[in-house]
Structure 1
Amino acid sequence: MNLQTLPGLFISHGSPMLALNPEQVGPALARLSTNLPKPQAIVVMSAHWESRSLEVNTGIRPETWHDFRGFPEELYQIRYPAPGQPELAEEILQLLANAGFNAHANSTRPRDHGVWMPLLHMYPEADIPVIEVSLPMHLQAADLYKIGQTLAVLRERQILLIGSGSITHNLRELSWDNQHSAVPEWASTFRNYVVSKLAHQDYDAVLDWPTIPYVHRNHPTIEHLAPLFFSMGTGHRFSIVHSSFTMGALGMDIYRFD
Structure 2
Amino acid sequence: MFIGHGSPRWALSPGEAAARLVEYRPLFDNVKALLVISPHWITRGMRLTVSSKPETIHDFGGFEQALYQLQYPVAGDPELARHIQSVLQDNGLDVALDEKRGLDHGVWVPLLHMLPEHSIPVIQLSLDAASTPESLIALGEKLKCLRNEGVAIIASGSLTHNLYHMGEERAAPLDYVERFQNWAREQVVERNIVTLSQPHIESDDFATAHPSAEHYLPLLIAMGASHATDQLSVLESPILYQALSMESYGWN
Normalising to structure 2: TM-score of the pair?
0.94
Output one character per residue of 1:116-137: Cα deviation in whole Å (capped at 9) or x when no partner.
1111111111121100000111
Measured in 2, the distance between the counterparts of 1:64 and 1:170 equals 25
Specify the SS of the correspondent of 2:23: helix
CA distance in 1, matches of 2:86, 2:143: 11
Q: Which deviates the most, 179-188 or 134-143?
A: 179-188
How do residues 156-235 of structure 1 correspond to structure 2 at under 5 angstroms? 156-175=148-167, 178-211=168-201, 212-235=203-226
Whole-angstrom distance in 2 between the partners of 1:36 and 1:89: 19
State the distance in 2 between where 1:94 and 1:35 align: 27
Q: What is the alpha-carbon distance in structure 1 between the residues aligned to residue 9 and residue 166 of structure 2?
A: 14
Q: Which residue of 1 aligns with 2:57?
A: 65
The one-letter code matched in structure 2 to 1:32 is Y
The Cα RMSD (Å) is 1.3
Q: Write the distance in 2 (CA, Å) between the matches of 1:203 and 1:155.
A: 20
- Give the drift of 1:36: 4.2
Matched, 1:148 2:140: yes
Query: Shift in Å at residue 38 of structure 1?
Result: 4.0
- Gap runs ≥5 in structure 1: 1-8
Judged with a 3 Å threshold, the aligned counterparts in structure 2 of structure 1 residues 81 and 36 are, in CA distance, closer, same or farther, namely: closer
How much has 1:35 moved relative to structure 2? 4.5
Residue 71 of structure 2 aligns with which residue?
A: 79
In 2, the alpha carbon distance for the partners of 1:41 and 1:35 equals 13
Residue 5 (structure 1) aligns with: none
Contact 2:16 2:237 in 1 (8 A): no
Partners of 1:244 and 1:95 in 2: CA distance: 37
1:32 and 2:24 correspond: yes
Give the ranges of 4+ consecutive aligned residues of structure 1 lying more than 6 Å apart after TM superposition.
Answer: none
CA–CA distance in structure 1, aligned partners of residues 175 and 119 of structure 2: 41
Q: Which runs of 5+ in 2 are unaligned?
A: none
Amino acid at match of 1:197: Q
SS of residue in 2 equivalent to 1:79: coil
Residue 13 of structure 1: which of 5, 22, 33 is its match? 5
Q: Distance in 2 between matches of 1:35 and 1:228?
A: 20
Report the Cα distance in structure 2 between the residues aligned to 1:184 and 1:246, rounded to whole angstroms.
10
**Do structure 1's residue 242 and structure 2's residue 236 form an aligned pair?**
yes
Note if contact 2:106-2:157 (Cα within 8 Å) is conserved in structure 1.
yes
TM-score normalised by the chain length of structure 1: 0.92
Does residue 110 in structure 1 map to residue 102 in structure 2?
A: yes
Tell me, yes or no, if the aligned pair for 1:59 and 1:84 is still in contact at 8 Å.
yes
Q: Verify the 8 A CA contact 2:74 2:120 in the aligned structure 1.
A: yes
Matched positions, count:
248
